[in-house]
Amino acid sequence: MAAKLKKIGVLTSGGDSPGMNACIRAVVREGISRGMEVVGVYEGYRGLLNEKFKTLSARDVSDTISKGGTILFTARCKEFHEEEYQRLAAENCRKHGIEGLVVIGGDGSFAGAQKLSHFGINTIGLPGTIDMDIACTEYTIGFDTAVNTALEAIDKVRDTSTSHERCSIIEVMGRNAGYIALWCGIGTGAEDILLPESYDYDEQKLINHIIENRKRGKKRHIIVNAEGIGHSSSMARRIEAATGIECRATILGYMQRGGAPSARDRMAASIMGAIAADLLAEGKTNRVVAMQNGKYVDIDIDEALAMQKHISDYEVSVSQSLAI
């Protein structure tokens, strides 16, 4: 069936995540396969305001599936929160014949896409963030790679921590969400996992746990701390003073956002990217592509943004029972 739209755009917005390029590639190639022209919008929403557009051919996205970062660059664009700039962005799209837009990013970026759809541009959001903090979806593009990167780093810290019989606090990203921390903590067998969703800030309890574990014969104590709690260095100093056990902090930082995407991220990015182009070809708007119960679905952005996400209590309790 002929595509309802002739020309669409694709942009990446917010923090980059591994797999964004695989996603751009899928939008471009599926879009072209459906007979549409696909324009790359550079630098996120800022690029819409500054008209940073370039039509992408299938060859323009060759050899990008394995690359980290985003070939379209990304930005956090303050102006875009204001209605006059959202209107300008929609006008710029129309000026260039762009009728639809795929936005790859997190919740914030979806809120931007929602606004653009109110100004008559067909929009589809794709979940691209390492934090996995988007309520409507079980999976976000980049999470798997980021967790595996952090896991490998924590395994290395654990070797030296055991050798020196130390306590190590490793801080992982995730903004206000604890998904990266929970997965890394369970995946590395950490003794404690501090999650913004469940940490009670009772440091004495943490200290007692370290002392008890030492008595039980544990040579080292790994604490995975989520960015949403933070303060790992000062926590390490207090723990060392209270326990007499050497304690070091490692903040993994931006290394978690880079690198070649995993197979899982490439697969999700490719399928979700293609679905987004198909939805635009069908004339749909204000939708987010998500994974629910292991299946790809698309849902209304308003509905998606109203949803809440919770860390599983069972997974948290298992992380504690497996760390004895």
CB of 76 to ligand F6P, least distance (A): 6
CB of 125 to ligand ADP, least distance (A): 9
- Out of ligand F6P, ligand ADP, none, what residue 174 binds, judged by CB under 5 to 8 A for its kind, is ligand F6P
**Which of 42, 53, 80, 179 is close enough to bind ligand ADP by CB under 6 A?**
80
Task: Decide if residue 108 touches ligand ADP (CB under 6 A).
Answer: yes
- 131 vs 191, which CB is nearer to ligand F6P? 131
- 21 vs 129, which CB is nearer to ligand F6P? 129
3-state secondary structure of 199: coil
Give dist(CA 267, CA 288) in Å, integer: 17
The b/e string for 125-147 (b: 16+ C-beta within 10 A; e otherwise) is bbbbbbbbbbebbebbbbbbbbb
Read off φ and ψ for residue 249, nearest 5 degrees: -110, 140
- Out of ligand F6P, ligand ADP, none, what residue 81 binds, judged by CB under 5 to 8 A for its kind, is ligand ADP
Task: Decide if residue 106 touches ligand ADP (CB under 6 A).
Answer: yes
Task: Decide if residue 45 touches ligand ADP (CB under 6 A).
Answer: yes
Q: Which residues contact 25 (CB under 8 A, 6 or more apart)?
A: 61, 64, 65, 270, 273
**Which of 30, 43, 99, 107 is close enough to bind ligand ADP by CB under 6 A?**
107
- 175 vs 218, which CB is nearer to ligand F6P? 175
**Which of 7, 9, 12, 15 is close enough to bind ligand ADP by CB under 6 A?**
15
Structure-block tokens of residue 61: 């996205």
Catalytic option among 16, 107, 131, 298:
131
Annotation says 133 is catalytic: no
**Residue closest to 183 by CA, chosen among 223, 147, 139:** 147
Q: What track of x and - describes contact with ligand ADP for positions 119 through 158 (by CB under 6 A)?
A: ----------x-----------------------------
The span of 27-35, 99-107, 249-257, 278-286 binding ligand ADP (CB under 6 A) equals 99-107
Give dist(CA 108, CA 298) in Å, integer: 18
- 23 vs 323, which CB is nearer to ligand F6P? 23
DSSP state at residue 69: S
Structure-block tokens of residue 307: 């949803």
Task: Assess contact for 190 and 223: CB atoms under 8 A.
Answer: yes
Burial class (CB in 10 A: 0-12, 13-18, 19+), 300: middle
Task: Decide if residue 18 touches ligand ADP (CB under 6 A).
Answer: no
Quote the longest CA-to-CA distance of the chain. 71
CB of 55 to ligand ADP, least distance (A): 23
- 157 vs 178, which CB is nearer to ligand ADP? 178
DSSP conformation letters of 129-162: -TT---TT-S--BTHHHHHHHHHHHHHHHHHHHH
Which positions touch ligand ADP (CB under 6 A)? 13-15, 45, 76-77, 80-81, 105-109, 111-112, 115, 129
Name the residues annotated as catalytic.
Answer: 131
